[in-house]
């Protein structure tokens, strides 16, 4: 059964969602990040995807106080991304309560550093975040497009113990039009030893069911929950049937 991972994106400590990664297309939601995290825990969610969008645009995390608050008040397994571009930022995020860290920009711009981190901390603590736009990996909060393909990026780090890859199709993100099914099945087939985590475009429980039938292992769901295209009750029933 595919593992559903709810997402909370943060700007100024608040829950937000972007459309196609565009900071100018931001929607803020009333619920606090801690309230949302506790609701997820209450229905049986085990893992939370927490992204510091302020940190993604800058050189270091900006919302670690939110991470620390959620880690203190829940037992959720938290994967954190945004602004992890130095040894200090990496240590600060782990110390604030992250179980896993998502590394995106550094993996592209400083691959030797990410390889070193993988060697030191292991693939069970560090996740490659590969956000794809027009077939290329985007970095720095999706504001820059690199020349790297996701396959080239994965191939570089598998010898260093890479285990998980979050792949976001930016063109689908926040659009509520369904994920790029072909992209994810292609990647999972090419790298069966890795967990390819689906991210972007989930619009309804039927998308999750389809991904499950295609033998994908993990899916991140964000805007569909906030916009009530997927309700917490539906997620609860799904989890009970695992």
| pLDDT value for 141 | 62
Residue 85 and residue 65 in contact, taking contact as beta carbons nearer than 8 Å: no
Question: What pLDDT was estimated at residue 20?
Answer: 67
Q: How far is CA 187 from CA 73, 95, 130, 180, 230, in A?
A: 36, 32, 12, 11, 26
Q: Judging by DSSP bridges, how do beta strands 126-133 and 136-139 pair with one another?
A: antiparallel
Residue positions annotated with a catalytic role: 9, 131
* Consecutive H or E run containing 11: strand 3-11
Residues 126-185 have pLDDT tens digits of: 999 998 987 789 887 666 778 899 999 999 999 999 999 999 888 787 778 899 999 999
pLDDT at position 26 is 80
User: Which residue intervals of the chain are DSSP H helices?
Assistant: 33-42, 53-57, 64-73, 87-96, 105-109, 111-121, 150-157, 181-190, 205-213, 223-226, 232-240
What's the chain's average pLDDT? 93
C-alpha to C-alpha distance for 201 and 163, rounded to whole angstroms: 23
Q: How confident is the model at residue 6 (pLDDT cuts 50, 70, 90)?
A: very high
Worst-scoring range by mean pLDDT, 63-77, 171-185, 195-209?
171-185
Q: Nearest to residue 165, comparing CAs of 177, 174, 173, 156?
A: 156
CA–CA distances in Å: residue 233 to residues 186, 201, 203, 205: 31, 20, 16, 11
Amino acid 48: pLDDT: 98
The stretch 65-83 carries a mean pLDDT of 97
Could you tell me the pTM of the whole model? 0.94
Tokens 């497009």 -> residue? 145
Nearest Cα neighbor of 51 from 16, 23, 12, 82 is 82
* The pLDDT value given to residue 145: 76
Query: Mind listing the domains of the chain with CATH numbers?
Result: 3-240 (3.20.20.70)
What is residue 234's predicted lDDT score, i.e. its pLDDT? 97
> What is the arithmetic mean of pLDDT over 119-125?
98
Of the candidates 164, 166, 131, 171, which has an alpha carbon nearest to the alpha carbon of residue 149? Answer: 131
Confidence band of 59 (pLDDT split at 50, 70, 90): confident
Query: Residues 110-121: pLDDT tens digits?
Result: 999 999 999 999
Residue 212 has pLDDT above 90, yes or no: yes
């Amino acid at each position: 059964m595919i593992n559903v991972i709810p997402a909370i994106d943060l700007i100024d400590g608040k829950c937000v969602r972007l459309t196609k990664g565009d900071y100018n297309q931001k929607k803020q939601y009333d619920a606090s990040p801690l309230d949302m995290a506790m609701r997820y825990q209450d229905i049986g969610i085990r893992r939370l995807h927490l992204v510091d969008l302020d940190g993604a645009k800058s050189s270091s995390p900006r919302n670690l106080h939110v991470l620390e608050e959620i880690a203190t008040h829940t037992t959720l397994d938290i994967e954190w991304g945004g602004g992890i571009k130095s040894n200090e930022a990496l240590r600060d995020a782990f110390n604030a309560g992250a179980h896993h860290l998502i590394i995106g920009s550094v993996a592209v711009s400083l691959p030797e550093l990410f390889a070193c981190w993988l060697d030191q901390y292991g693939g069970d603590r560090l996740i490659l975040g590969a956000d794809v736009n027009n077939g290329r990996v985007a970095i720095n909060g999706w504001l820059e497009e690199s020349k790297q393909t996701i396959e080239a990026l994965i191939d570089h780090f598998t010898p260093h113990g890479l285990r998980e890859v979050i792949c976001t199709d930016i063109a689908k993100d926040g659009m509520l039009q369904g994920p790029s099914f072909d992209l994810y099945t292609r990647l999972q087939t090419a790298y069966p030893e890795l967990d390819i985590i689906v991210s972007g475009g989930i619009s309804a429980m039927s998308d999750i069911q389809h991904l499950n039938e295609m033998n994908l292992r993990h899916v991140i769901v964000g805007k569909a929950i906030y916009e009530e295209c997927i309700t917490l009750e539906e997620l609860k029933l799904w989890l009970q049937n695992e």
